[in-house]
Amino acid sequence: MGHAVVSITRFPAERHALIEKGEDSMPHVIVEGCLGEVYAACVDVCPVECIHPGQYQGKPFMIINPEVCIDCGVCLPECPIGAIVGSVDENPAWAKVNADLTPTFKDNPKVTPRPPNEPPRNPNNKLVK
């Protein structure tokens, strides 16, 4: 499937006009690898400010708001540990976590990003970029 270049605005109401897809779904998902890491480089590149910090299972975590994400993909290469996947189908369980946490995370203040070359806190995570 080809990709079209779209003009991106900061207004979530424009979402449906900007994306050509058959159904409304959250295209990107932050997964378990982010739990306790929160590099947060993804926040600064998101053109619609749909990535939010908070606490999950007693650890810092980030979520992607499914009501705002426009499937632009700029966040995907920014995570130094690859904790963002490109579709709900890649990890439905964590897609549900992102959606369920959105109401409590979306108004949280931004966090200061960690240096992308800083070693992961979780020994199961590896730097991928």
Q: DSSP 3-state assignment of 91?
A: coil
Looking at residues 25-31, what average pLDDT do you find?
A: 81
User: In the prediction, which pLDDT does 26 show?
Assistant: 55
Domain boundaries, the chain: 12-105
Q: Does residue 126 register a pLDDT over 60? A: yes
The reported pTM is: 0.80
**Confidence at residue 6, expressed as pLDDT on a 0 to 100 scale:** 40
CATH 3.30.70.20 fits 12-105, yes or no: yes
Alpha-carbon distances, residue 97 vs 27, 64, 92, 116, 118 (angstroms): 14, 10, 9, 24, 26
| Contact present, 16 and 24 (Cβ < 8 Å) | yes
What pLDDT digit, counting tens, does each position of 68-112 carry?
999 999 999 999 999 999 999 999 999 999 999 999 999 999 999
